[in-house]
Structure 1
Amino acid sequence: MTAWIVLPVSLSAFSITGIWIVYAMAVMNHHVCPVENWSYNVTCTEEPSKPGFPKTCCTIQDIPLISKCGSFPPESCLFSLIGNVGAFMVVMVCLLRYAQMIEHGHGCWINTGGLVAGFGNAVGLVMVGNFQVDHAKTLHYVGAGVAFPAGMVFVSLQCLLTYRVALTALDYWMAHVRVGLTVGALVSLVLSGAFFIHESFVLQHAAAICEWVFTVVILVFYGTFTYEFGTVTSETMMAGLQRACHQSSSMILGGSERLGGLGSGSAKGLKSPGGSSTSTHLNCTPESIAML
């Protein structure tokens, strides 16, 4: 067991708790209506604030979409913090997961695609958290348009990767759990998009609920990496860095071969055998670089 098992759980717990606190603050400050409210009006007269109580008259502008909950201060400050910290933790989880698969000899396109999708998810989260929908709508929607699909691609690829590396019954059980979460995320994302384009108050409210479900499911999926991160060591990240160094060395060697500077034997000597431990991976030592 290593301390890295705390990272995925912290990402899920911090983000889920944080966005619900943002929602509660927005409701109490009369910036959105509570999620249990399904009655909306075309217009509302100005009503006096009642501290500690939600709004009694709601319009379509008060639908509790996650983005709307984080549009106005003071909750917008916490919303930005959650987006930034959450994005950083997503990057760390994706890097460790990528390096862990490299460490065990699974440097396939699924692993690389998962890393790229995870980074895209993090970039989208930063944009969503820092560009509020009521103040920078275009940038906010661009961020959401990157974060949601990238998150969906990431969890889908990780499902495939989990099945590919599964060895025990518990591994397959975790793969099944992740497939269930992925299906739930896909259904909620599709329904959210389908409902959001309509002007009906009821469908807009349903879109908000589906958006919340999608976000929570994705965050729970990230938390499941605690299962694998118990085997992460200090050498795990080095495995990913050595992979990158190996690819860079191969590119340099390929260019040198085209120039006639190096023979094919040198290139073969730098290939990693792809074993199941970090000791089988290429070591990017100064002596290896000097051979170039």
Structure 2
Amino acid sequence: MTAWIVLPVSLSAFSITGIWIVYAMAVMNHHVCPVENWSYNVTCTEELPRPGFPKTCCTIQDIPLISKCGSFPPESCLFSLIGNVGAFMVVMVCFLRYAQVIEHSHHCWVNTSALVSGCTNAVGLVMVGNFQVDHAKSLHYVGAGVAFPAGLLFVCLQCVLTYRVAVTTLDYWMAHFRVALALGAMISLVFSGIFFIHESFVLQHAAAICEWVFTVDILVFYGTFTYEFGTVSRDTMMAGLQQGEHASGVIMGPGSRGSTLGGASKGLKSPGGSSTSTHLNCTPESIAML
């Protein structure tokens, strides 16, 4: 076991807890209406705020979309912090997972595409967190349009990779669980988009609920990497860095190739276990790519 197992679960716990705190702050500050509210009005007269109680008169501007919850201070400050810290942790998770798959001699376009989509997701999160929808709508929507599809693509590609590197029965069960999460994320994102383009209050509210489901689903998916990260080591990180140098056109010397070959020829561990190990089908060509 290594300390890296803390990273994925921290990403999930920090982000999920954080966005719900942002939502609670927005409701208490009368910036959005509670998610259980389904009654909306075309217009509302000015009402006196009741400290500690949510709004009683809601319009379409008060629908509790995640972005809307983080539009106004003080909750907007926390929303930006969550976006920035979460994006950094996403990049770390994506790189470690990329390196771990390479360590199992499964360097392929799927793994590279997963890394790119994960980092693209992080860029979108930074834009969403720092450009609030009520103050920089165009940039915010660009960020959301980048983050959501990229996040969905990342989880789908990781489902494929989980099956490819699976060794034990438990590995395959984790792959099945991730497929279920990916399907849930895909369905919720599609319905969110369909409902969001309508002007109906009910459908707009349904879009907000689907957006919350999608976001929490993706964050739970990131948390599942705790299962594999118990086997992450210094060799894992070196495999990722060396592959990055290779992809950048850096020519490695004979000594470097020899030491890489020696490290890759060791018995490879099951992705989710610290004690189970097995030799996978590694060809000299795939090992040399490391």
| Aligned amino acid, residue 65 of structure 2 | L
Whether the 8 Å CA contact 2:98–2:111 is kept in 1: the answer is: yes
Residue 102 of structure 1 deviates from its aligned partner by: 1.1
Task: Tell me the TM-score normalized by structure 2.
Answer: 0.88
Is the Cα–Cα contact under 8 Å of residues 99 and 239 in structure 1 kept in the other structure? yes
CA–CA separation in structure 2 for the residues paired with 1:278 and 1:80: 44
What residue in structure 2 maps to residue 92 of structure 1?
A: 92
Deviates most, 167-176 or 231-240: 231-240
Residues 201, 180 of structure 1: alpha-carbon distance in 2 compared, 3 angstrom cutoff: same
Distance 1:101 1:242 in 2: 13
- 2:146 equivalent in structure 1: 146
Note the C-alpha offset of 1:234. Answer: 1.8
CA contact (8 A) 2:243 2:289 kept: no
Give the residue type in structure 1 aligned to 2:202.
Answer: V
Structure number with bigger Rg: 1
SS at match of 1:235: helix
Q: What amino acid does structure 2 have at the position aligned with 1:100?
A: Q
Measure the CA separation in 2 of the matches of 1:33 and 1:236: 47
In structure 2, relative to structure 1, the CA distance for the partners of 1:159 and 1:33 (3 Å cut) is same
Distance in 1 (alpha carbons) for counterparts of 2:199 and 2:170:
46
- For these two proteins, the number of residue pairs brought into alignment is 270
1:170-194 Cα shifts (integer Å, max 9, x gaps): 0000000000000000000000000
Alignment of 1:56-67 (within 5 A): 56-67=56-67
1:103–1:278 contact (8 Å) kept in structure 2: no
Q: How many Å apart are 1:236 and its aligned residue?
A: 1.2
Alignment correspondent of 2:193: 193
- Give the corresponding residue for 1:225: 225
CA contact under 8 A between 2:104 and 2:165: conserved in structure 1?
A: no
Residue 103 of structure 1 contacts residue 276 of structure 1 at CA under 8 Å; is this kept in 2?
Answer: no
Instruction: Indicate if the aligned counterparts of 2:185 and 2:214 stay in contact, CA closer than 8 A.
Output: yes
Aligned to 2:136: 136
Structure 2 unaligned runs (5+)? Answer: 269-283
Equivalents in 1 of 2:151, 2:266: separation in Å? 29
- How far apart are the structure 2 equivalents of 1:21 and 1:230? 30
- TM score, norm. by length of structure 1: 0.87
Distance, in Å, in 2 between the alignment partners of 1:52 and 1:121 is 35
| 1:239–1:278 Cα contact (<8 Å) kept | no
Q: Larger deviation: 56-65 or 274-283?
A: 274-283
> What one-letter code is carried by the residue in structure 1 that aligns with 2:221?
F
Cα 1:88/1:211, change in 2 over 3 Å:
same
1:68-118 per-residue CA deviation (whole Å, 9 max, x = no partner) reads: 000000000000000000000000000000011111211111110000000
RMSD across aligned C-alpha pairs, in angstroms?
A: 2.3
1:212-260: per-residue Cα shift (whole Å, max 9, x none)?
000000000000000000000122111111112233457x69xxxxxxx
Cα distance change, pair 203–43 in 1 and its aligned pair in 2 (3 A): same
Match of 1:106 in 2: 106
Tell me the percent identity. 80
- Letter in structure 1 aligned against 2:109: W
Cα distance in structure 2, aligned partners of 1:27 and 1:278: 54
